Chain A
Amino acid sequence: MRRMKWLVGAAAAVGLLATAAGPASADMHRGGILRLVSASAGGTLDPKINYTLQYWTMYQYTYDGLLTFKHAAGSDGFTIVPDLAEAMPESMNGGKTYVFKLRKGIKFSNGKELDVKDVVASFQRIFKVSSPTAGSFYNGIVGADACLKTPATCTLDGGVVADEANNTITINLVAPDSEFFDKISVPHAVVLPADTPDKDMGNTPIPGTGAYMFAAYDPNKQLKAVRNPYFKVWSNDAQPDGYPDEIHYDFGLAGEDQITAIENGQADWTLDQPPADRLAEMGSKYPSQVHINTLTAMWYAPMNVNIPPFNNLKARLAVNYAIDRNAMVKLFGGKVLAQPACQIIPPGFDGYKPYCPYTKHPGARWSAPDLAKAKRLVKESGTAGQKVTIIVQDLAADKAEGTYLQSVLKSIGYDASVKVLSQNIQFTYIQNTNNKVQISITQWYQDYPAPSDFLNVLFGCDSFHPGSDSSVNIPGFCDKTIDAAMKHAMITSLTDKAAAAKEWTAVDRAMTDQAPAAVLFTPKYIDFLSKRVGNYIFNAQYYWQQNLAWVQ
């Protein structure tokens, strides 16, 4: 008993010490400059328009929405917490109305105090600047239809209503939406000052409420974030104070140079997948600086279903059968960094049931390519000999995958070529139907943890906008039956998650069978940090928490 008492007493003392030492120890690490590098910039800095993981991770500490994903390690990062809103709102009117009470005393980085008018203007701005997810995430808000038709005059009348006296925002939906909280937690729904111009602000930083603010942006050189002088912590879960004083993101360094810079302590982290020939060195010489995490993501080759040759289902199936996914994995960095995949829902998501029809022995897992079947399908499709151009990014892994895919397409009878575009423009280029892209290689990292973010967002009719750079349904796929099934699954998930998961499984299979894309593999993310970086925290939603890293 005594011993037990002593142990309890000792534990309590240690706990007290730790509590007392915690903030002091954390303060020790406050300061310094975190130096990030990447081959190229991520395009526009406007958080309502940018749709890249590269900047979405940075928006977590520069901007806030009514709700946000928790700044926590692992899958706890999927939890949605109140941010500018005081609390999670109650569902009213059968799931069609939500009332958010806005926190008081929060200021933008330009010193202006946040109020409900900023929230209304920010929701209107989603439509006014034609945010890439305006039609897919926010089309369920009352008044969104009119905003989508005439963005310039968008008011969201009756959809987003401010009550200045009570400091509340009421959002009314056309129909209940099980993913509404997810959708308003992503950066496209962050709150900006009401007087922000209704145009793509490009390289001009927009004031935010986060712990940091963007100070300067030159896409050919550097993005610089510094502390927001008006920031005070209101919720550690939603917007914690960061450790580095400044975060510098340098652009233009080639992959090999990035790794060398990190090894030499001249940079702290790179966004880009390391070049294949450096991986072995990193794994053997610097294992303590390497962090590998499983992602809910996919590498895939979208095929344009509206132009030849991939407007023919058999041609698309042929590509799926022909691809040796083990080879793709090898080119990406080996089995430690990726797993072959055939289906659209990634492992770990609701509705995921292993399914792979595009292999020599169809079943749950991919085993080997079936070239004979692929050649037969190409012959039956009557598309043999047609010219096909593969559009890839100018990163080593992407180019290697593109060259391999070209070889595969040639082997099944196409006259294939590869076109390499800068990482800066490739993702928007392949979305625009005017560019007549037949097939490309790209990646998709979840916006939020729901199967619809892969199935509905990437292949739903609402995500297809011909002639626009913001048409994330890259194949231009629109199957009314599958689309209806997706909408039904989303409604089901409001009341019965398990039943919804089954519906998503069925949708996943139907979509995979239609092959609007060839899913290649599920990647893992490799963070290679410099020796000086401490407090590595990986958040399943937004990956490495840059603002929480120690650099001193």
Chain B
Amino acid sequence: MSSSLPATTEVGEGLAAVPRPALGPWARAGRKLVADRTAMGALGLFILIVLACLAAPLYATYVAHTDPFTSNVEGSITVDGQDVDLIQPSTEGLGLGSVPLGPTWDYHAYFLGADAQGRDVAARLLYGGRNSLLIGGASTAICLFLAALTGLVSGFFGGVTDMLISRLLDVLWAFPIYLLAISLSIVLISHGFTIGPFEITSGSLWLPIWIIAIVYVPYVARPIRGQVLALKESEFVLAAKGLGVPDWRILLRDILPNVMTTIIVFVPLMVAINMLTESALSFLSIGVQAPDASWGTIIQDGQDLIYTRPWVAIAPGIAIVLTVLALNILGDGLRDALDPRAKLRIR
């Protein structure tokens, strides 16, 4: 926030006006956010999901006693005192096919049943959430950093720099986002990516992270650039320029703090969008690679079982809906708290 904002004072009833320490803009935004019960509920739900996913190894090792990454087609477990095959051969009609164990609703083992490989769906769901959240979070951080950098430089310096950066963003923007992400994934997923000493191997999570981060840069950079263009003409920037303050200092000390609210508002929204993109890519087998799991890959596993064991696909679907919903509500709350006048809203 600009330091030009006026400090606030409150007047006590029946007393002479006593100046109280003014609340900073961040503190006021924080108070406003805390007062927003819907946003706080969403934050609570998101934290709960994150904690549950972080606890995946504990759940798999100490509660479910299962390895969710190893096929267990010939395995069996004890349910209600009886040995039950994880993949059960059909006994009806011609005896064709086999069906994975359904939900036991017992959190000790196979709470949500088994997938076609005999793996514990609940444990995979938690592990998958870790990857989905990691990719969503990391790609958001990279995307926002690149977007802020390009938006600031392009908007502030203008001229040729602005033209080059803007056209580059236009080119990226011209591709439908999913088409671009799918194309990049297909090209890179089989051979990985190498630039000089930096190498990303084909199965690495860094591939979907970078791909998702890059395709969304224009999405965020454009509003930042617009804001910088307006701020560049504001009095405090012109005054700083008049006083001979170096450009980099104006950018860091005067412009960046003013666009920071926009960037922060983008955080939960971009995490949500990036998680959805990751799920889509993984569903198409071009995101997270087996045997690693993400919510997208689990939905893909469940696609082949949709008739007999729909929970394999439904459970990660619900997880995605809840997480994205929580992040979107939190994003709205953040926007209201940080910049109530802003029109920025991402659907």
List, in ascending order, chain A residues with CB within 8 A of B95's CB. 283, 334, 336
Chain B 167-203 interface 0/1 with A at a Cβ cutoff of 8 Å (1 = within): 0000000000000000000000010000000000011
Q: Does B38 contact A (CB under 8 A)?
A: no
Given A276, A292, A330, A394, which contacts B94 in the complex, CB threshold below 8 Å? Answer: A292
Among B84-92, B232-240, B272-280, B332-340, the one that faces the other chain is B84-92
Within A386-402, the residues touching B (CB, 8 Å) are: 394, 396, 399-400
Given A275, A331, A406, which contacts B290 in the complex, CB threshold below 8 Å? Answer: A406
Asked if B308 and A410 make an inter-chain contact with CB atoms under 8 angstroms apart, the answer reads no
Asked if B290 and A418 make an inter-chain contact with CB atoms under 8 angstroms apart, the answer reads yes
With contact pairs A290-B94, A334-B90, A406-B291 given, residues A281 and B71 touching in the complex (Cβ less than 8 Å): no
Q: Give B residues with C-beta under 8 Å from A.
A: 69-71, 73-74, 87, 89-90, 92-99, 116-117, 190, 202-203, 285, 289-291, 303-309
List, in ascending order, chain A residues with CB within 8 A of B285's CB. 394, 420
Residue in B closest to A389 when the chains form the complex, CB atoms:
B202
Q: Does A361 contact B (CB under 8 A)?
A: no
Interface centre among A278, A411, A526, by most chain B C-beta atoms within 10 angstroms, is A278
Residue in B closest to A275 when the chains form the complex, CB atoms:
B304
Distance in angstroms from A515 CB to nearest chain B CB is 22
A-B CB contact pairs (8 Å), 10 listed: A278-B97, A279-B96, A280-B90, A290-B94, A336-B94, A336-B96, A403-B117, A407-B71, A407-B291, A417-B202
Q: Lowest 8 CB-CB distances: which A-B pairs, in order?
A: A279-B97, A284-B93, A283-B96, A283-B94, A327-B73, A407-B71, A280-B90, A283-B93
Given B74, B291, B309, which contacts A326 in the complex, CB threshold below 8 Å? Answer: B74
Within A277-334, the residues touching B (CB, 8 Å) are: 277-285, 287, 290, 292, 324, 326-327, 330-331, 333-334
Asked if A283 and B90 make an inter-chain contact with CB atoms under 8 angstroms apart, the answer reads yes
Residue in B closest to A255 when the chains form the complex, CB atoms:
B304
Residue in B closest to A404 when the chains form the complex, CB atoms:
B71
Q: Can you name 5 extra interface pairs (CB under 8 A) apart from A256-B304, A277-B116?
A: A277-B99, A280-B90, A333-B96, A333-B97, A411-B70
- Inter-chain CA distance A333–B89, complex, in Å, is 8
Q: Does A419 contact B (CB under 8 A)?
A: yes
Residue in B closest to A337 when the chains form the complex, CB atoms:
B96
With contact pairs A396-B304, A403-B291 given, residues A280 and B71 touching in the complex (Cβ less than 8 Å): no
- Inter-chain CA distance A282–B203, complex, in Å, is 37
Asked if A324 and B291 make an inter-chain contact with CB atoms under 8 angstroms apart, the answer reads no
Q: Does A335 contact B (CB under 8 A)?
A: yes
List, in ascending order, chain A residues with CB within 8 A of B70's CB. 407, 410-411
Q: Does A408 contact B (CB under 8 A)?
A: yes
- Inter-chain CA distance A411–B70, complex, in Å, is 8
Distance in angstroms from A340 CB to nearest chain B CB is 12
- Inter-chain CA distance A276–B117, complex, in Å, is 12
List, in ascending order, chain A residues with CB within 8 A of B98's CB. 276, 279-280, 330, 333-334
List, in ascending order, chain A residues with CB within 8 A of B71's CB. 327, 403-404, 407-408
Distance in angstroms from A415 CB to nearest chain B CB is 9
Distance in angstroms from B331 CB to nearest chain A CB is 35
Given A276, A285, A324, A408, which contacts B93 in the complex, CB threshold below 8 Å? Answer: A285
List, in ascending order, chain B residues with CB within 8 A of A281's CB. 307
- Inter-chain CA distance A311–B70, complex, in Å, is 26
- Inter-chain CA distance A331–B96, complex, in Å, is 12
- Inter-chain CA distance A396–B308, complex, in Å, is 15
- Inter-chain CA distance A526–B94, complex, in Å, is 12
Distance in angstroms from B200 CB to nearest chain A CB is 14
- Inter-chain CA distance A462–B261, complex, in Å, is 70
- Inter-chain CA distance A458–B234, complex, in Å, is 76
- Inter-chain CA distance A276–B24, complex, in Å, is 62
Interface centre among B69, B74, B90, B203, by most chain A C-beta atoms within 10 angstroms, is B90
List, in ascending order, chain B residues with CB within 8 A of A283's CB. 90, 92-97
Asked if A334 and B96 make an inter-chain contact with CB atoms under 8 angstroms apart, the answer reads yes
With contact pairs A277-B97, A279-B96 given, residues A284 and B90 touching in the complex (Cβ less than 8 Å): yes
Within A373-431, the residues touching B (CB, 8 Å) are: 394, 396, 399-400, 403-404, 406-408, 410-411, 417-420
List, in ascending order, chain A residues with CB within 8 A of B97's CB. 276-280, 282-283, 333-334
- Inter-chain CA distance A526–B96, complex, in Å, is 10
Distance in angstroms from A71 CB to nearest chain B CB is 28
List, in ascending order, chain B residues with CB within 8 A of A411's CB. 70
Residue in B closest to A400 when the chains form the complex, CB atoms:
B116
List, in ascending order, chain B residues with CB within 8 A of A404's CB. 71, 73, 117
Interface centre among A275, A277, A292, A334, by most chain B C-beta atoms within 10 angstroms, is A277
Given A256, A290, A418, which contacts B96 in the complex, CB threshold below 8 Å? Answer: A290
List, in ascending order, chain B residues with CB within 8 A of A284's CB. 90, 92-94
With contact pairs A277-B305, A410-B291 given, residues A335 and B93 touching in the complex (Cβ less than 8 Å): no
List, in ascending order, chain A residues with CB within 8 A of B203's CB. 417
Within A226-255, the residues touching B (CB, 8 Å) are: 255
- Inter-chain CA distance A336–B94, complex, in Å, is 8
Residue in B closest to A394 when the chains form the complex, CB atoms:
B285
List, in ascending order, chain A residues with CB within 8 A of B89's CB. 330, 334-335
Given A256, A279, A403, A418, which contacts B90 in the complex, CB threshold below 8 Å? Answer: A279
List, in ascending order, chain B residues with CB within 8 A of A276's CB. 97-98, 116, 304-305
Residue in A closest to B87 when the chains form the complex, CB atoms:
A330
Residue in B closest to A281 when the chains form the complex, CB atoms:
B307
Chain A 260-279 interface 0/1 with B at a Cβ cutoff of 8 Å (1 = within): 00000000000000011111
List, in ascending order, chain A residues with CB within 8 A of B99's CB. 277, 280
List, in ascending order, chain A residues with CB within 8 A of B92's CB. 280, 283-284
- Inter-chain CA distance A407–B69, complex, in Å, is 8
- Inter-chain CA distance A255–B69, complex, in Å, is 25
- Inter-chain CA distance A396–B303, complex, in Å, is 10
Distance in angstroms from A337 CB to nearest chain B CB is 7
Asked if A277 and B94 make an inter-chain contact with CB atoms under 8 angstroms apart, the answer reads no
List, in ascending order, chain B residues with CB within 8 A of A280's CB. 90, 92-93, 96-99, 308
With contact pairs A282-B96, A334-B90, A418-B289 given, residues A327 and B74 touching in the complex (Cβ less than 8 Å): yes
Asked if B94 and A256 make an inter-chain contact with CB atoms under 8 angstroms apart, the answer reads no
With contact pairs A280-B97, A417-B289 given, residues A324 and B90 touching in the complex (Cβ less than 8 Å): no
- Inter-chain CA distance A337–B96, complex, in Å, is 7
- Inter-chain CA distance A283–B285, complex, in Å, is 30
List, in ascending order, chain A residues with CB within 8 A of B307's CB. 256, 277-278, 281
Distance in angstroms from A436 CB to nearest chain B CB is 11
Distance in angstroms from A203 CB to nearest chain B CB is 23
Residue in A closest to B75 when the chains form the complex, CB atoms:
A327
List, in ascending order, chain B residues with CB within 8 A of A336's CB. 94-96
Asked if B73 and A331 make an inter-chain contact with CB atoms under 8 angstroms apart, the answer reads yes
